[in-house]
Copies of this chain bind each other. A is one copy, B any other.
C-alpha cells in the first residue's frame, strides 16, 4: 500500500534529519542526469515532493540543471515551478520546452499562477498567460490588478459560501451536489444577500451537528475579514496573532472576493522574517542560488555605506593625530571602545527591530523601553569600564589611561543603547524599514562617539 511506503521511508529517515532530501538521493539524481539516464532519473525523482525537487534544482549549477530538465522533460510538474525561488525559476522557465511549460502551468491553481508570474519579465509573463485558458487568464489578470504584496495577490478566489439563513442540512446537500469544490477548504463562509460575509463555520462543526441546526448557531468566534488591499505582512500578522486558519477577503464595499488560508500566511511570515534577518545584515533579497556577480552587486551598497561611515570615523580619529603620535597605546586600545559600542548597539537595535515587526514595541511602551535600554547600557558599561580600566593599567601601567578607557566605555555603551532604540523607532515613524537602515546609522553613531570620547578624554587628561 502506498501509504505504508511513506511511513516506512519516513521512519527509516528518522535517525538523522527526518525531512528534506538525503544526500544520497541528491547524488544519485545528479549522476543519473550526468549519465543521461532518463529512466533512472524519473525513477529517482518521481517519489519526491515538488518542494524537494525544487530544492535539488536550486542546488545545481545551471548547465547540469538544464541537462536534468531536458531529460526529465514532460514529467516536469507545475508545482515544481511554484516551489522554485525567483532567480532559478526564471532560468528554468527559459529552459523548458514551450509545450512542457504550457502543460506545467495549466495544472496550477490561479493563485499559484499569480505567484509564479508576478516576478517574471514581460516576455515570460505573456508566454505563460497565453498558455492558460480564457477563464484562468482572466482570473490571473484580475489578481494582478491588485497591488503587489496585497491580500488580493495572496487569496484564492474559490470560496465555499452559504446564505446566512441556511441549516446544516442545506449546506451538506449543497456541497454534495456541487461539482467543483476547491481542493482544500476548512470553513463555509456565511454571506448576507449583498454577498458580504457575516460569519463562518468549520466543516467539523457542520459534520457533527444535526441537519436542522442553523449554520449561524455554529459560527466561530474567531471570524475576521481581510480587506483586499491589505499588505500581506499584516495578513500574516493577523493569522499568527489570532490563530486564524482561513479568513474571507472583502473588497471596499465589504463584499466577499476570496479567501486566504493559513498555509499562504505561513509562507509570507517565513519570507518576512527572512527579509528582516537579511536586511539587518545588510544583504538585500539574496538567495543561495543567486550567481556570484549578483551576490557581489547586492552586497556592494551596504558595504559602500559602511565605507562612508568608516571614513567618517577616520576623520574623527584624524582630529587627534597629535595625541596618537604622543601616546601609541591609544591606537592599540581605541578599536576596543568602538567595537564594544557597535556590538551593544546591534543588540539593542535587533531587539527593537524585531519588536516593531511583532508589534510588541508601540507608542504605548516606547518610553519605558528607551529608559530600560539606557539603564542596561549604563550597567554593562560600568562593568566593562572596570574590566577595561584594569586591563589598561596592567597592560600599559598608566592608571589615567585606565580611567580614560573606562569612562569612554560607559559613554559609548549608554549611547549605543539609546541609538539602538531611537534609530529604529525614528525610521519606522518616517516610513523606512528599520531592518534595512538601522545598522548603518547605529554603528556610525557608536564609532564616532567611541573614538571621540576615548581620544578626546585622552587629549584632556593624558597630554
Is A37 close to B, CB under 8 A? no
Residues on the B chain within 8 Å of A160, using CB: 204
- Chain B nearest CB from A195 CB (Å) reads 13
- Supposing A61-B368, A288-B361 touch, asked if A324 and B317 sit within 8 A by C-beta, the answer is no
Which residues on B sit within 8 Å (CB–CB) of A60? 365
**A10, A20, A335: which has the most chain B beta carbons within 10 Å?**
A335
A376 in the interface, Cβ–Cβ < 8 Å?
Answer: yes
Whole-angstrom CA separation of A52 from B375 in the bound complex: 28
Max chain B CB contacts within 10 Å: which of A23, A178, A317?
A317
The answer to whether A303 has its CB under 8 Å from any CB of chain B is: yes
Inter-chain contact A254/B11, CB cutoff 8 Å: yes
Residue of B nearest to A325 (CB): B328
Q: Could you say which of B27, B324, B364, B387 contacts A307, with CB atoms under 8 Å apart?
A: B387
Q: Is the CB–CB distance between A26 and B172 below 8 Å?
A: no
Closest Cβ–Cβ distance, residue A81 to chain B (whole Å):
15
Number of interface residues of A (CB under 8 A): 149
Q: Does A432 contact B (CB under 8 A)?
A: no
Give A52-92 interface residues, CB cut-off 8 Å to B: 52, 55, 58-61
Q: In the complex, how many angstroms separate the beta carbon of A327 from the nearest chain B beta carbon?
A: 10
Q: Judging by beta carbons under 8 Å apart, are A351 and B288 in contact?
A: yes
**B325 & A313 in contact (Cβ 8 Å cutoff):** no
B198 touches A4 (CB 8 A): yes
- Type the 1/0 row for A341-358, where 1 means its CB is closer than 8 Å to any CB of B: 001101101110011001
A335 and B176 form a contact (CB under 8 A): no
Across the interface, A6 reaches (CB within 8 A) one of B224, B292, B331, B363, namely B224
**Is there contact, CB below 8 Å, between B266 and A262?**
yes
| Cβ proximity bits A212-247 to B, threshold 8 Å, 1 near / 0 not | 000000010001111100100010011111111100
Q: Kindly identify which residue among B18, B59, B202 contacts A184, using a CB–CB cutoff of 8 Å.
A: B202
B18 touches A230 (CB 8 A): yes
Cβ-defined contact, B362 with A23, below 8 A: yes
Q: Are B55 and A360 in contact, with the CB atoms below 8 A?
A: yes
Residue of chain B at shortest CB distance from A205? B181
Interface set of A (CB-CB < 8 Å, partner B): 1, 3-4, 6-7, 10-11, 14, 17-21, 23, 26-27, 30, 49, 51-52, 55, 58-61, 160, 172, 175-176, 178, 181-182, 184-186, 196-199, 202-204, 206-210, 219, 223-227, 230, 234, 237-245, 250, 254, 262-263, 265-267, 269-270, 273-274, 276-278, 280-283, 286-289, 291-293, 295-296, 299-300, 302-303, 306-307, 310-311, 313-314, 317-318, 321, 324-325, 328, 330-336, 338-340, 343-344, 346-347, 349-351, 354-355, 358-365, 368-369, 372-373, 375-376, 379-380, 383-384, 387-388, 391, 447, 451
Which listed residue, B311, B359, B451, touches A20 by the CB 8 Å rule? B359
Contact of A379 among B292, B376, B387 (CB under 8 A): B292
> Are A277 and B350 in contact, with the CB atoms below 8 A?
yes
**Once the chains bind, are B360 and A288 in contact (CB under 8 Å)?**
yes
Is B227 a contact of A14 with CB atoms below 8 Å?
yes
A198-B1 in contact (CB<8A) = yes
Q: Is the CB of B176 within 8 A of A208?
A: yes
